[in-house]
Amino acid sequence: MDEAAARRHIDRLWRRGRELLGVEYAIMGGAMTWVSERNLVAAISNAGGFGVIACGAMTPALLDNEIAGTRALTDKPFGVNLITMHPDLTALIDVCGARDVGHIVLAGGIPPREAMRRAKGHGARLICFAPALVVARKLVRDGADGLVIEGMEAGGHIGPVSLSVLAQEILPVVRDVPVFVAGGIGRGEAMLCFLEMGASGCQLGTRFVCARESIAHPRFKASFIRAEARDAVPSIQLDARFPVIPVRALQNDASRSFLAFQQTVIDRFRAGDVDQKAAQLEIEHFWAGALRRAVIEGDVEGGSLMAGQSVGMVHIEQTVRQIVDELMAQASAALMARERAGVAD
């Protein structure tokens, strides 16, 4: 098997993913708030992958502007990631419809059926996140055109199950729609393994943070380049009465201070100085604006350094095309090495 044959084999493995997205490589860019904006999104799409705008907390007007800005940089397909808990979710879906966005990704919770119907009513292909097999089956019944299963190795808000387990639970069973894997993928060999398990593509976020086209602050990128996999850890909850949504990020002064802050608020609650609702709000508001401070302003000690465990595979700043080419070369080399080993045996 030569490299051309290896590429043809990979094309067959992720054919359904490529067809759903309309791209050369079924590699989705993870939607990272403040990072996955027009420049990085367009660069991923221009390199043959599938860029995804992270809407995050954008207003409908801001999203409309971001879609237009992305279109000015690429004529290739890209998608928009919307958070299901956004108060203006319906308006954001309508903005995507008005801009003729071909793919809408609903994340951050199980999407309401009405939101799914509205997105598909605009003619968009709908991709949803499935944290478990039962949810995956429900989403397919409700009309999802594709699914993403994301393991706890990912950066940002995470679930409790690793990708290796989710893949075993879902990939052999869900065959009606393409399924993309996400969480901890940093090399082409891993990408190939999941494709051979039945995935139709993959989603990478952390790997693209240090792309040259990424607008992330140089200090933010430097933190990623220095980091090891073990440095990306989930946030810790001190008291079950005050839930903390797990977020995986690089440890820094802010993450260590968060533990002390939680303890202070809990002590005040026990002393009767603050009620439970107010205490919960204080804990939730600790990180307000922290991601922007890190990504845009470069405050890598007081901000939030959301990163997946694949950060240990981020060693240098590269162009998006170099990253994609490297992933494809690694996957192809693994296939060729396997064939050579088989012939030798």
pLDDT tens track for 115-127: 999 999 999 999 9
Measured CA to CA, the distance from residue 98 to residue 30 in angstroms comes to 23
Measured CA to CA, the distance from residue 317 to residue 55 in angstroms comes to 25
In the predicted structure, residue 245 carries a pLDDT above the cut 90: no
Whether residues 176 and 276 share a domain: the answer is no
Whether residues 150 and 99 share a domain: the answer is yes
CA distances from 251 to 184, 224, 290 (A): 17, 11, 13
Measured CA to CA, the distance from residue 180 to residue 244 in angstroms comes to 27
Do the strands 125-129 and 201-204 form a parallel or antiparallel pair, or are they unpaired? unpaired
Whether residues 236 and 184 share a domain: the answer is no
Whether residues 158 and 296 share a domain: the answer is no
The total number of structural domains in the chain stands at 2
End-to-end CA distance of the chain: give it in Å, rounded. Answer: 16
Whether residues 58 and 149 share a domain: the answer is yes
Whether residues 285 and 193 share a domain: the answer is no
Q: What band does 1 get if pLDDT is binned at 50, 70 and 90?
A: confident
Whether residues 63 and 177 share a domain: the answer is yes
Whether residues 63 and 35 share a domain: the answer is yes
What's 123's domain CATH number?
3.20.20.70
Residue among 222, 142, 129 at smallest CA distance from 181: 129
Residue 128 main-chain phi, psi, to 5 deg: -130, 155
Whether residues 92 and 229 share a domain: the answer is no
Query: What does R_g of the chain's alpha carbons equal in angstroms?
Result: 20
In the predicted structure, residue 238 carries a pLDDT above the cut 80: yes
Query: Is 211 a member of any domain?
Result: no
Average pLDDT for residues 107-120, to the nearest whole number? 96
Answer for the pair 107, 82: CB distance below 8 angstroms, yes or no. yes
Query: Is 210 a member of any domain?
Result: no
Give one word for 237, left, alpha or beta, with left for phi > 0 and alpha for psi -120 to 50.
beta
Does an H or E element contain 147, and which? Answer: strand 146-150
- The residue segments making up the domain with residue 290 are 218-309
Predicted confidence at residue 345, as pLDDT, reads 47
Count CA within 13 A, CB hemisphere, residue 53. Answer: 30
Do the strands 51-54 and 103-107 form a parallel or antiparallel pair, or are they unpaired? unpaired
Of 69-73, 119-123, 236-240, give the lowest mean pLDDT range: 236-240
Residue 73 main-chain phi, psi, to 5 deg: -105, -15
Query: Is 212 a member of any domain?
Result: no
Whether residues 125 and 70 share a domain: the answer is yes
Residue among 208, 316, 298 at smallest CA distance from 252: 298
Distance of CA 88 to the CA centre of its chain: 21
Average pLDDT for residues 262-266, to the nearest whole number? 94
Q: For 173-224, what is each residue's pLDDT tens digit? A: 999 999 999 999 999 999 999 999 999 999 999 999 999 999 999 999 999 9
Q: What band does 344 get if pLDDT is binned at 50, 70 and 90?
A: low
In the predicted structure, residue 100 carries a pLDDT above the cut 70: yes
Whether residues 304 and 321 share a domain: the answer is no
pTM: 0.95
Residue among 73, 311, 298 at smallest CA distance from 209: 311
Q: What band does 146 get if pLDDT is binned at 50, 70 and 90?
A: very high
Measured CA to CA, the distance from residue 206 to residue 30 in angstroms comes to 8
Average pLDDT for residues 73-95, to the nearest whole number? 97
Answer for the pair 231, 247: CB distance below 8 angstroms, yes or no. no
Q: What band does 343 get if pLDDT is binned at 50, 70 and 90?
A: low
Whether residues 52 and 197 share a domain: the answer is yes
- Tokens 């359904």 belong to 16
Query: Is 168 a member of any domain?
Result: yes
Average pLDDT for residues 141-145, to the nearest whole number? 97
